[in-house]
Chains A and B, each alone.
Chain A
């Protein structure tokens, strides 16, 4: 027998209390792992979404910059339009490496989901758009040949929702014309998955927006000073200049306050774990006052008693954090669903990314914080005089 076994058996004495303490630490660890995973996942997904746009700058009709940012990332209703002529000369400027014109349209589809939903259509130029989005690959088929063909390309999720494959025909809302599904894209994890792409001219015709655009996407040449170029674009009338870097910063600044709350909750989780452990172990030391004194009269040194109580604390913390980590991993999908429901904007991709560094940090920090909570009770136990405990029994 060794001191570890003695400590372990001490924990078994009050099984319910031990279980509740472990449950407390487990919940704290769960919260910590989920919040740290969210902290990492949200930013990473946002970066991927913005990089997935393929543009450095987007020109939209004048309006609220936040609305424009949402349009970029999510698609949306209440869209504003600008004339093609207004932005066409921008596409031809020397600083621009590639440009593509787009017309977005959102339509309510009563057949989408249980209560209906919005379907986002994007009219694109098949000559320029694919070059700016090289990561878009096809499961079936290919891009349409001309910008006025009666054809569509479906994003991965859109194809699943519409139950269409390449070669199928489909009717678009408000149009009597039958469109042929020319291709189905592979999953990208971006907003493109839910999109229905069609040639720009066809989109302008069926949505009655002839000569109008929602966006112009620009990629600049490598040595161009982006900030200076954006400054020049600001002089254009009735055009909103949205830099993707700005979009990211805008969203990150919007969620910065949420992050402060997240980290505060994580800190509270730390404190709950620490005080939970302190309370449990201290109670256990008080209850075993006599017994600890007897151990000392049998030859246990103060350092032995300190070590024994600290081992009990370590076992509680290690088991609790391990259980919390398992719980956080098992229920990360559920947590992500809840976060998506609560947040006004959540990028596509994994919102909670739990990696080994997160797990190791959560395990070691909760265990260390719990141990810190166990130091005071351990010192109290080590200071018990055998004589006092024997007298208390008389």
Chain B
């Protein structure tokens, strides 16, 4: 059985009388430790797909299974709290705009997800390991405003990893970076995949970054090509 199995995932938004089919009958399978590149033009449904996959949103219909657990089933809608509970036990997120809290240091930003999961609060060893792995150990006590774009994105990746997620979802992780920093992030993602056997779902416009995917889901008008 695949690690992630999606069957006929559909998402329809309603804007007034108009119905927008953002995602239509998407079915695919992802094995553990795989890197999936999600590509497509703007408005093709990439972000909708990862939002549904990452439990940020309910699909309109279809089913999703992660690690043998049924997350969504036809017509069954989960509450915001239930979505959050699933999300924080399985997924780590990296966003294009980093979204680091400006008043918290690098170390504190990384620990932020652990604040909301009491069992993980005292995990100092994991923090040290992540800081070293991402080359942030010398920047641990700096504020985000004192970091370069690449360092900020590495901090965001470290924050996504602190809770040991099974799946890392990265939405345009190099969208705000120059080519040198983009290559740095690409190598880091590859290293995480190879060393930690982390499953990565990567949304990108960047063909170079998409190349690291073992499987590519190309979307057009909400349909996987």
Given contacts A10-B103, A300-B116, A304-B116, whether A390 and B84 have CB atoms under 8 Å apart is: no
B binding-site residues for A, Cβ under 8 Å: 47, 51, 56-57, 80-81, 84-85, 87-88, 93, 95, 97, 99, 101-104, 108, 111-117, 121, 159, 163
In the bound complex, CA of A1 to CA of B104 (Å): 10
Chain B residues with CB below 8 A from A290, complex form: 99
Of the candidates B84, B95, B115, B163, which one forms a contact with A2 in the assembled complex, judged by CB atoms under 8 Å apart? B115
Chain B residues with CB below 8 A from A302, complex form: 80-81, 84
Given contacts A6-B112, A387-B56, whether A298 and B104 have CB atoms under 8 Å apart is: no
Cβ of A299 to closest chain B Cβ, rounded Å: 3
Cβ of B72 to closest chain A Cβ, rounded Å: 15
- Closest-by-CB residue of B relative to A304 is B116
The residue in B57, B81, B111, B116 that gathers the most chain A C-beta atoms within 10 A of its C-beta is B116
In the bound complex, CA of A20 to CA of B102 (Å): 22
Chain B residues with CB below 8 A from A301, complex form: 81, 84-85, 116
Q: Is A295 an interface residue (CB 8 A)?
A: yes
Whether B84 contacts A387 by the Cβ 8 Å rule is: no
Whether B102 contacts A3 by the Cβ 8 Å rule is: no
In the bound complex, CA of A9 to CA of B57 (Å): 30
Cβ of A158 to closest chain B Cβ, rounded Å: 63
- Closest-by-CB residue of A relative to B99 is A294
- Closest-by-CB residue of B relative to A290 is B99
Q: Which of A16-36 contact B (CB under 8 A)?
A: none
- Closest-by-CB residue of B relative to A12 is B103
In the bound complex, CA of A148 to CA of B111 (Å): 90
In the bound complex, CA of A301 to CA of B111 (Å): 16
Chain A residues with CB below 8 A from B104, complex form: 6, 9
Whether B103 contacts A390 by the Cβ 8 Å rule is: no
**Given A298-B159, A300-B116, A390-B51, 7 more pairs with CB closer than 8 A:** A1-B115, A6-B101, A6-B108, A10-B103, A298-B112, A301-B84, A301-B116
Q: Is A201 an interface residue (CB 8 A)?
A: no
In the bound complex, CA of A27 to CA of B112 (Å): 35
Chain B residues with CB below 8 A from A296, complex form: 84
Q: How large is the interface on A (under 10, 10 to 19, 20 to 34, 35 or more residues)?
A: 20 to 34
- Closest-by-CB residue of B relative to A299 is B88
Q: Which of A264-314 contact B (CB under 8 A)?
A: 290-291, 294-302, 304
Cβ of B59 to closest chain A Cβ, rounded Å: 13
A-B contact pairs, 28 of them (CB 8 A): A1-B121, A3-B115, A3-B116, A6-B112, A6-B115, A9-B108, A10-B103, A12-B103, A13-B103, A294-B95, A294-B99, A296-B84, A298-B93, A298-B112, A298-B159, A299-B87, A299-B116, A299-B117, A299-B163, A302-B80, A302-B81, A302-B84, A304-B116, A387-B56, A387-B57, A390-B51, A393-B95, A394-B47
Chain A residues with CB below 8 A from B85, complex form: 301
Chain B residues with CB below 8 A from A393, complex form: 95, 97, 99
- Closest-by-CB residue of B relative to A288 is B101
A-B complex: 10 closest residue pairs judged by Cβ atoms: A299-B88, A294-B99, A9-B103, A300-B116, A298-B113, A299-B116, A299-B113, A1-B111, A304-B116, A13-B103
- Closest-by-CB residue of A relative to B120 is A299
Q: Is A386 an interface residue (CB 8 A)?
A: yes
Of the candidates A2, A6, A297, which one forms a contact with B56 in the assembled complex, judged by CB atoms under 8 Å apart? A297
Whether B87 contacts A297 by the Cβ 8 Å rule is: yes
Q: Is A248 an interface residue (CB 8 A)?
A: no
- Closest-by-CB residue of A relative to B117 is A299
Cβ of A8 to closest chain B Cβ, rounded Å: 9
Q: Is A385 an interface residue (CB 8 A)?
A: yes
In the bound complex, CA of A64 to CA of B101 (Å): 73
Cβ of B66 to closest chain A Cβ, rounded Å: 16
- Closest-by-CB residue of A relative to B104 is A9
Of the candidates B93, B121, B163, which one forms a contact with A297 in the assembled complex, judged by CB atoms under 8 Å apart? B93
